[in-house]
Amino acid sequence: MGGDLLQVEVAYARPEEQVVLKVDVPSGTTVREVIEQSGALLRYPEIALDGDNRVGIHARLVGLDDRVAHGDRVEIYRPLKADPKEVRRQRAAAGKA
């Protein structure tokens, strides 16, 4: 691909807001670098890449050191507040009462 730039997006959603940031990066750029270059970390200080936030490309979990390709949509996932299985168990138990 040479010196061509890749066009990628970074997506992040809060309950009240969803944002998609477009970024042009050189070939070989990692997921972490794309997120850093997008400005998302400055805009949303609650994002902790080395903490609870997971990342994916087109809804598939990936690592921060994975390389992006042209047209990728890097998604930053918020940590779950509750385990979905436990929530279902609690609802089922409440329904039996």
- CATH number of the domain bearing residue 54: 3.10.20.30
pLDDT for the residue numbered 2: 52
Angle at 29 between CA 21 and CA 55, to 5 degrees: 55
* Domain assignment of residue 23, given as a range: 5-96
Q: What are the tens digits of pLDDT across the range 43-71?
A: 999 998 887 789 999 999 999 999 999 99
What is the tally of structural domains in the chain?
1
Between CA 80 and CA 24 the distance in angstroms is 30
Chain-centre distance for alpha carbon 28? 19
Q: What are the tens digits of pLDDT across the range 1-37?
A: 456 899 999 999 998 999 999 999 999 999 999 999 9
Structure tokens at 84: 């979905």
The pTM for the full model equals 0.79
Sign of torsion over alpha carbons 70, 33, 17, 50:
positive
pLDDT for the residue numbered 36: 97
pLDDT for the residue numbered 94: 78
